[in-house]
């Protein structure tokens, strides 16, 4: 008997994937070599899109209790003068602060607690995966070893969430594409009650001699990151650390300055050349590595989990074809590459390189970021539209394509005499948001997908969704389970415009009755001959 899904790695990406699958009734076994949460801080920042993913995983309220909103990002010169500021708001389009700071061990405990409450999930700690095999179309085989010996699991799918040194990546024969960034940095996490001169956001020091990053994580928690200029330089000792942090805090009383962790990292920019072999997938750091300068390392992994899990659940439970799973890499890889390049660009903005043109590049950066609207554009660029593909058929509707491939906003709405966020009203499947009465053919599409239909009038959202549709020149939108717009009814139109492009991918072979939207797709194809 096979396990539906084996997840290798119980970090935030692996556990979030398990929780998202559990919401759809898919069982999973999570295998983790550590017995408990890794106790030291690593990731510290997330954005509002990823907080929406945590909401989908059922842990938003618990995460809110440990998160601290941040004001955004500042670029400072070597003398700590502000060159540029990229503000983040307290309420982004997804319904949460655009940037939140947190302590990764606390997030992992929140996720582990939720995992323990989910009967569909089983965590096996103290177990190390020693082999993953995928032969043909049959179940994958996962071999792991624990204190009791060696064990074999057969799985309908395997998710490799096992980090940069992924055994799963090696098992599928994937290699790294080098995106040309590699630097050694020291990361210092501190707890202190001393007064710290800080802006409530992230500061990047653009100094080629000693680039640095500083951020406040919690009430008394701070992080500094400093580049190590050459291979021969050791970790800063206490006296050197005192000099490095002097622009922010006076260590006249060092006893009140506790170094929680000091570690050396090599920041790299890489992306796996393949993310899938059969039903074996790579997620998170197993699939991509980014420098941390825009705080998107962990975020990218949670986006992977959000994108893949609803598709995998549909294939496993409803009989959709394997081609649906092809869209995971097609959609996520370009986005991951884009984010890595943004992070590399920020890294070069901080250091300017070591050549004579460094000052010119930094000066050009300082001028560019003062162009009106550029800061807002940079913020939007952290969540660009998905590239065109089978589930993002932009070519079909030039007038409304601005919405397709983008996330639907998430305002607070009224539901059953209480205020909830939109996703709580929509549920976990497809949904139709509409400003007009549904035609019979639109209703057939919604029914065939099990989509909840929600009129945007009278939702108690101050007309935000109605305005969003109007600005997008749409009367209605079809939302995927991950809340990406998949199809549009243009203003004045009577039907979705690209049904034939995605219907075959989502066809559920196990349905006992012909799907009305599949039948209508055949009619659409006949009409265009």
- pLDDT band per the 50, 70, 90 thresholds, residue 378: low
- pLDDT band per the 50, 70, 90 thresholds, residue 514: very low
Q: Mind listing the pLDDT tens digit for each residue in 416-438?
A: 788 999 999 999 999 999 999 98
Are the beta carbons of 410 and 94 closer than 8 angstroms?
yes
pLDDT at residue 103 in the model: 92
- pLDDT band per the 50, 70, 90 thresholds, residue 340: very high
pLDDT at residue 506 in the model: 82
Judged against a pLDDT cut of 70, whether residue 369 lies above it is answered with: no
Are the beta carbons of 515 and 507 closer than 8 angstroms?
yes
- pLDDT band per the 50, 70, 90 thresholds, residue 373: very low
Cα-based distances in Å from 506 to 338, 389, 391, 441, 477: 27, 14, 9, 17, 17
Are the beta carbons of 224 and 263 closer than 8 angstroms?
no
Are the beta carbons of 436 and 495 closer than 8 angstroms?
no
Q: Mind listing the pLDDT tens digit for each residue in 6-27?
A: 999 999 999 999 999 999 999 9
Are the beta carbons of 415 and 425 closer than 8 angstroms?
yes
Q: Mind listing the pLDDT tens digit for each residue in 250-293?
A: 887 777 889 998 988 899 999 999 999 999 999 999 999 999 88
Superfamily of domain 3-68+101-177+271-350: FAD/NAD(P)-binding domain (3.50.50.60)
Are the beta carbons of 115 and 16 closer than 8 angstroms?
no
pTM confidence score: 0.91
Q: What is the chain's percent helix, strand, coil content, to nearest 5?
A: 35, 30, 40
The CA distance from 309 to 206, in Å, is 39
pLDDT at residue 208 in the model: 84
| Average pLDDT, integer, range 456-471 | 94
- pLDDT band per the 50, 70, 90 thresholds, residue 331: very high
pLDDT at residue 364 in the model: 55
168 closest CA partner among 66, 71, 261, 284: 284
pLDDT at residue 524 in the model: 32
Most confident range, picked from 317-326, 370-379, 400-409: 317-326
| Average pLDDT, integer, range 235-262 | 84
Are the beta carbons of 122 and 30 closer than 8 angstroms?
yes
Structure tokens at 220: 């008394």
Cα-based distances in Å from 475 to 32, 463, 478, 487: 47, 14, 11, 11
Residues 6+ apart with CB under 8 A from 249: 192, 194, 195, 196, 197, 257
Q: Mind listing the pLDDT tens digit for each residue in 158-204?
A: 999 999 999 999 999 999 999 988 989 999 999 999 999 988 889 99
Half-sphere CA count of 341, side-chain side, radius 13 A: 8
pLDDT at residue 511 in the model: 45
- pLDDT band per the 50, 70, 90 thresholds, residue 28: very high
Are the beta carbons of 299 and 174 closer than 8 angstroms?
no
Are the beta carbons of 141 and 280 closer than 8 angstroms?
no
Residues 6+ apart with CB under 8 A from 241: 188, 259, 262
Q: Mind listing the pLDDT tens digit for each residue in 116-125?
A: 999 999 999 9
Q: How far apart are the first and last CA of the chain?
A: 47
| Average pLDDT, integer, range 497-514 | 63
Share the mean pLDDT of the chain. Answer: 86
Name the β-bridge partners of 192. Answer: 257
pLDDT at residue 240 in the model: 84
Cα-based angle 478, 480, 482 (whole degrees, multiple of 5): 140
Domain ranges (residues) in the chain: 3-68+101-177+271-350, 394-527
413 closest CA partner among 459, 356, 366: 459
pLDDT at residue 125 in the model: 96
Range with the lowest mean pLDDT among 61-65, 205-209, 229-233, 327-331?
229-233
Residue 234, classed as helix, strand or coil, is: coil
447 closest CA partner among 520, 363, 359: 520
- pLDDT band per the 50, 70, 90 thresholds, residue 134: confident
| Average pLDDT, integer, range 364-392 | 63
The CATH classification number of 394-527 equals 3.40.30
Judged against a pLDDT cut of 50, whether residue 515 lies above it is answered with: no
pLDDT at residue 522 in the model: 38
pLDDT at residue 41 in the model: 77
Are the beta carbons of 369 and 84 closer than 8 angstroms?
yes
- pLDDT band per the 50, 70, 90 thresholds, residue 38: confident
pLDDT at residue 198 in the model: 87
Q: Mind listing the pLDDT tens digit for each residue in 285-324?
A: 999 999 988 888 999 999 999 999 999 999 999 888 899 9
Judged against a pLDDT cut of 70, whether residue 151 lies above it is answered with: yes
């Amino acid at each position: 008997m096979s396990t539906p899904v084996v997840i290798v790695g119980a970090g935030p990406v692996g556990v979030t994937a398990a929780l998202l699958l559990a919401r759809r009734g898919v069982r999973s076994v999570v295998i983790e070599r550590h017995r408990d949460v890794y106790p030291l801080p690593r990731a510290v920042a997330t954005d509002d899109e990823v907080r929406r993913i945590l909401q989908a995983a059922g842990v938003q309220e618990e995460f809110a209790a440990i998160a601290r909103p941040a004001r955004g990002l500042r670029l400072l010169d070597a003398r700590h003068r502000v060159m540029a500021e990229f503000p983040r708001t307290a309420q982004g389009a997804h319904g949460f602060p655009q940037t939140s700071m947190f302590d990764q061990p606390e997030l992992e405990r929140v996720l582990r607690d939720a995992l323990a409450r989910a009967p569909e999930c089983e965590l096996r700690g103290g177990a190390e995966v020693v082999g993953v095999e995928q032969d043909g179309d049959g179940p994958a085989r996962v071999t792991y070893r624990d204190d009791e010996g060696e064990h074999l699991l057969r799985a309908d799918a395997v998710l490799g969430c096992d980090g940069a040194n992924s055994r799963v990546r090696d098992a599928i024969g994937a290699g790294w594409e080098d995106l040309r960034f590699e630097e050694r940095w020291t990361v210092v996490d501190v707890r202190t009650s001393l007064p710290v001169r800080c802006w409530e956001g992230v500061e990047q020091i653009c100094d080629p001699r000693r680039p640095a990053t500083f951020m406040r994580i919690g009430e008394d928690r701070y992080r500094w990151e400093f580049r190590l200029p050459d291979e021969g330089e050791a970790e800063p000792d206490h006296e050197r650390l005192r000099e490095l942090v002097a622009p922010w805090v006076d260590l006249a009383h060092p006893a009140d300055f506790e170094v929680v962790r000091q570690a050396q990292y090599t920041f790299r920019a890489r992306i796996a050349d393949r993310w899938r072999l059969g039903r074996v997938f790579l997620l998170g750091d197993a699939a991509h590595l980014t420098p941390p300068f825009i705080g998107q390392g962990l975020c990218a992994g949670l986006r992977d989990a959000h994108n893949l899990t609803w598709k995998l659940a549909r294939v496993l439970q409803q009989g959709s074809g394997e081609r649906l799973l092809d869209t995971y890499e097609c959609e996520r890889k370009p986005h991951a590459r884009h984010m890595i390049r943004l992070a590399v660009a920020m890294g070069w903005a901080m250091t300017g390189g070591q050549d004579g043109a460094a000052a010119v590049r930094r000066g050009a950066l300082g001028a560019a970021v003062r162009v009106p609207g550029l800061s807002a554009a940079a913020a939007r660029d952290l969540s660009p539209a998905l590239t065109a593909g089978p589930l993002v058929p932009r070519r079909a509707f030039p007038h409304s394509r601005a919405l397709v491939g983008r996330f639907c906003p998430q305002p607070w709405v009224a539901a059953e005499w209480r205020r909830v966020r939109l996703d709580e009203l929509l549920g976990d499947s497809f949904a139709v948001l509409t400003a007009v009465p549904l035609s019979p053919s639109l209703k057939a599409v919604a029914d065939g997908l099990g989509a909840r239909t929600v009129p945007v009038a009278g939702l108690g959202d101050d007309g935000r969704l109605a305005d969003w549709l109007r600005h997008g020149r749409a009367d209605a939108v079809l939302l995927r389970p991950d809340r990406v717009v998949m199809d549009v009814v243009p203003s004045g139109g009577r039907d979705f415009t690209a049904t034939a492009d995605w219907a075959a991918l989502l066809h559920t072979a196990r349905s006992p009755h012909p799907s009305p939207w599949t039948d209508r797709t055949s009619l659409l194809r006949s009409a265009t001959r």
